[in-house]
Amino acid sequence: MKILVTGGAGFLGARLIEALLAPTANDLLPAGGTIVSADLAPCPVDDPRVVSHTGDVSDPAFIASLIDPSTTLVYHLAAVVSGQAEADFDLGMRVNFDATRTLLEACRQQAQTPRFVFASSLAVFGGPMPEQVPESLAPLPQSSYGAQKAMAELLINDYSRKGFVDGRVCRLPTISVRPGKPNAAASSFASGILREPLSGEASNCPVPLDTRLWLSSPQTVIDNLLHAARLDGQALGLRRTLNLPGISVRVSEMLDSLARVGGDAARARVGFEPDERVQRIVCSWPGDFDIERPLQLGFRVDADFDSVVKAHQRDMNR
Amino acid sequence: MKILVTGGAGFLGARLIEALLAPTANDLLPAGGTIVSADLAPCPVDDPRVVSHTGDVSDPAFIASLIDPSTTLVYHLAAVVSGQAEADFDLGMRVNFDATRTLLEACRQQAQTPRFVFASSLAVFGGPMPEQVPESLAPLPQSSYGAQKAMAELLINDYSRKGFVDGRVCRLPTISVRPGKPNAAASSFASGILREPLSGEASNCPVPLDTRLWLSSPQTVIDNLLHAARLDGQALGLRRTLNLPGISVRVSEMLDSLARVGGDAARARVGFEPDERVQRIVCSWPGDFDIERPLQLGFRVDADFDSVVKAHQRDMNR
């Protein structure tokens, strides 16, 4: 029994692998099972049950080496992030769309249909939107990243309808607070404006203070990714795509949380240099969703943003 | 100045080419301009301004031979129809999605951005729907044909956003009455139950009488395809995809029109053998749309179904 995690060296992938190794997840990874991490870099999780494959997911030969008849579950997290996919359209197509398709094809060739959990994004949405986004709203991506994710969603839905895979598409909220370094995601600041000030460093907020973001803590996203694999695919009905629960928070409210948790000194480390490139992408995303169905299906949501920032602070001090 | 029409040997493509050759369309095809037809079969339109290329649009070398710097307008109509794409998933992907992508790439390489009119379909919709489909409803295809068209739509929208092409996506209603022979489209009966009885032949209706269809006459679709090319791309805003106007007609009402136009003898030639495969696809499609925006943009709609049937009868007798 084998679980494949693409992007297993990334922040989310590594944390997911740790969660899959925990005894509480032995329904997904029973004794004797292994986790295959596939990423450009080796998986940082040191455990005998983790096999790390390094390579490029946009290389079909690499994909073919990852899947075999014992693969029961695939987490496809590997992606080129929004800012990078906007700057290099062809790279984004190759990694965010073509690699997903190749992976789906590899799954389709297996005798046993694997469960396939795909990390999509609220970046599929854009343009005029109601205050709260309903499940039936059409994607209208304002970034190539969003367009590539939306195309992959349709493909997974059709592969599931045809019985080629048993797919579950999770549109992730913006994750905050991500540990580590800033990255090329347009939403990188949504972690930076908390993480850096809490570590005594300066950080820039490139968007207006009243920008509303749809946020989830890393732990809640991980819990929800595990839940997505546990669900009975039939319970999803025709719509394999879910807007994962998040909380709707304005940037000003994020900074209020920062001041409450980290003090005024931390809050004072945030600068406000607008960045048009970031604004164009991030301000096209919805800030609130109707999450009735995901909650009914058993997905979790964070209590409030203060608790998210406190959890990050606890992680920092571990 | 060159106009490319893929699927130019098909019923719609050939009729579109005839319309483009008419003096009323010399804003699109000025004196000295040519039309390139690309299809598996030679274009049946006999005119010195039409150059017929036969080949497979899923062959990138064939696509490359069709586009050059003088190509100002592309009509991409070539497709594997719904029934066939459902039976042969890989063929559908290759023709309905990959060929579209190859064609978009060829356009992107040109110094002058061509206008790109794509024939999509109401088959992108499925699942639970409001009585009248709003423009913002998310596609939820219940056929691979619909999924492939919906992915191509997203690609064209993103290519247009990036300025690689100047795209216009027309989701065509079911066309009735198509002349000629039945084809492998799941909606083939929507023409067959009128065309065959009016020619003295028997025809089968495979869906329940209360099935609502979203219909357009061939002439109105052609007029609207011409209009799509004439529009200023900016007028479409962020949403390059349009649900083309149609009329919402129940199958029972179609048969009433048949009786009024062709007499009770014609009506009596329709049999009622249910076909589950056809029902599964066709009954997942919406039967009514909000068409406020396309009408504001100047697209046309048929007056009623009787006039559609009468127009077909006139064409028959020409």
Chain A interface, mutation test: which of B88, B131, B144, B154, most A Cβ atoms within 10 Å? B154
Chain B residues with CB inside 8 Å of A157's CB? Answer: 140-141, 147
Per-residue pLDDT tens digits for A24-74:
999 999 999 999 999 999 999 999 999 999 999 999 999 999 999 999 999
Residues A81 and A11 in one domain: yes
Sheet holding A71-76, edge to edge: A50-54, A34-39, A2-6, A71-76, A115-121, A166-172, A241-243
| Residue A296 domain-assigned (yes or no) | no
Q: Give the pair of three-digit tokens for residue B285.
A: 């499609």
Tokens 């191509």 — which residue? B152
Contact B154 A157 (CB under 8 A): no
In this structure, what CATH number is given to the domain that contains residue B92?
A: 3.40.50.720
Instruction: Round to whole Å and give the CA distance between B3 and B15.
Output: 14
Instruction: Round to whole Å and give the CA distance between A193 and A255.
Output: 8
Mean pLDDT of chain A, nearest integer: 96
Residues A57 and A169 in one domain: yes
Per-residue pLDDT tens digits for A139-167:
999 999 999 999 999 999 999 999 999 99
Mean pLDDT score, A236-262: 97
Which of A9-13, A298-302, B178-182, B213-217 is predicted with the least confidence, judged by mean pLDDT? Answer: B178-182
Residue B186 is predicted with a pLDDT of 87
- Catalytic, out of B11, B97, B145, B285: B145
Residue among B140, B154, B158 minimizing CB distance to A238: B140
Contact A154 B150 (CB under 8 A): yes
> Is the model's pLDDT at A281 over the cut of 90?
no
pLDDT classification of A318: cutoffs 50, 70, 90:
confident
Residue A36 is predicted with a pLDDT of 98
* B161 close to A (CB below 8 A): yes
| Residue A178 domain-assigned (yes or no) | no
| Residue A293 domain-assigned (yes or no) | no
Residues A143 and A198 in one domain: no
* B142 close to A (CB below 8 A): yes
| Residue B56 domain-assigned (yes or no) | yes
Mean pLDDT score, B285-302: 97
Contact B161 A142 (CB under 8 A): yes
Instruction: Round to whole Å and give the CA distance between A59 and B132.
Output: 44
- Name the residue of chain B whose CA is nearest to A164's CA: B89
> Is the model's pLDDT at B51 over the cut of 90?
yes
The residues pairing with B119 across neighbouring beta strands, listed in sequence order, are B170
Per-residue pLDDT tens digits for B69-107:
999 999 999 999 988 999 999 999 999 999 999 999 999
Per-residue pLDDT tens digits for A76-101:
999 999 889 999 999 999 999 999 99
Count Cβ–Cβ pairs < 8 Å, chain A vs chain B.
61
In this structure, what CATH number is given to the domain that contains residue A206?
A: 3.90.25.10
Contact B139 A154 (CB under 8 A): yes
pLDDT classification of A212: cutoffs 50, 70, 90:
very high
Q: In this structure, what DSSP letter does residue A123 have? A: G
Residues A127 and A228 in one domain: yes
Instruction: Round to whole Å and give the CA distance between B267 and B260.
Output: 9
- Name the residue of chain A whose CA is nearest to B86's CA: A162
The CA-based angle A129-B224-B294, given to 5 degrees, is: 25
| Residue B75 is a catalytic residue | no
A3-26 burial, b at 16+ Cβ within 10 Å, e below that, comes to bbbbbbbbbbbbbbbbbbbeeebe
Nearest CA-CA distance, residue B235 and chain A, Å: 15
Residues A141 and A201 in one domain: no
The CA-based angle B278-B281-B287, given to 5 degrees, is: 110
pTM for the predicted model, two decimal places: 0.95
* A155 close to B (CB below 8 A): yes
Chain A residues with CB inside 8 Å of B138's CB? Answer: 135-139
pLDDT classification of A284: cutoffs 50, 70, 90:
confident
Residue B316 is predicted with a pLDDT of 86
Structural domains in chain A (count): 2
Per-residue pLDDT tens digits for B34-49:
999 999 999 999 999 9
The 3-state DSSP class for residue A14 equals: helix
Q: What phi-psi label fits residue A263: left (phi over 0), alpha (psi between -120 and 50 degrees) or beta?
A: left
Instruction: Round to whole Å and give the CA distance between B43 and B190.
Output: 25
Residues A193 and A111 in one domain: no
Residue A186 is predicted with a pLDDT of 87
pLDDT classification of B304: cutoffs 50, 70, 90:
very high
Residue B163 is predicted with a pLDDT of 97
Q: How many CA atoms does the CB half-sphere of B263 hold within 13 Å? A: 5
Per-residue pLDDT tens digits for B188-241:
999 999 999 999 999 999 999 999 999 999 999 999 999 999 999 999 999 999
Residues A223 and A202 in one domain: no
Residues A120 and A236 in one domain: yes
| Residue B254 domain-assigned (yes or no) | no
Residues A201 and A113 in one domain: no
Contact B147 A137 (CB under 8 A): no
> Is the model's pLDDT at B67 over the cut of 90?
yes
Contact B162 A140 (CB under 8 A): no
Residue A82 is predicted with a pLDDT of 87
H or E element at residue A154 = helix A144-161
Expressed as residue numbers, the domain containing B91 is: 2-172+218-243
Instruction: Round to whole Å and give the CA distance between B1 and A266.
Output: 63
Per-residue pLDDT tens digits for B114-165:
999 999 999 999 999 999 999 999 999 999 999 999 999 999 999 999 999 9
Q: How crowded is residue A71: how many other Cβ atoms within 10 Å of its Cβ?
A: 20
Whether A7 and A27 have beta carbons less than 8 Å apart is answered as no
| Residue A180 domain-assigned (yes or no) | no
Residue A316 is predicted with a pLDDT of 86
> Is the model's pLDDT at A254 over the cut of 90?
yes
- Name the residue of chain A whose CA is nearest to B90's CA: A105
% pLDDT > 70, chain A:
100
Residues A144 and A203 in one domain: no
Residues A27 and A133 in one domain: yes
* Long-range Cβ contacts of B290-295 (<8 Å, 24+ apart): B290/B132, B290/B133, B290/B134, B290/B135, B290/B243, B291/B243, B291/B244, B291/B245, B291/B246, B293/B135, B293/B242, B294/B242, B294/B243, B294/B244, B294/B245, B295/B245
Contact B138 A138 (CB under 8 A): yes
| Residue A292 domain-assigned (yes or no) | no
Residue B254's nearest CA partner among B195, B300, B295 is B195
Backbone angles phi, psi at B78, to 5 degrees: -60, 135
Residue A270 is predicted with a pLDDT of 97
| Residue B306 domain-assigned (yes or no) | no
Instruction: Round to whole Å and give the CA distance between B302 and B318.
Output: 21
Whether B116 and B107 have beta carbons less than 8 Å apart is answered as yes
Residue B136's nearest CA partner among A216, A286, A259 is A286
Q: Which is it for strands A115-121 and A71-76: parallel, antiparallel or unpaired?
A: parallel
The residues pairing with B175 across neighbouring beta strands, listed in sequence order, are B216
B256 contact partners, CB below 8 Å, separation of at least 6: none
Residues A91 and A146 in one domain: yes
> Is the model's pLDDT at B298 over the cut of 90?
yes
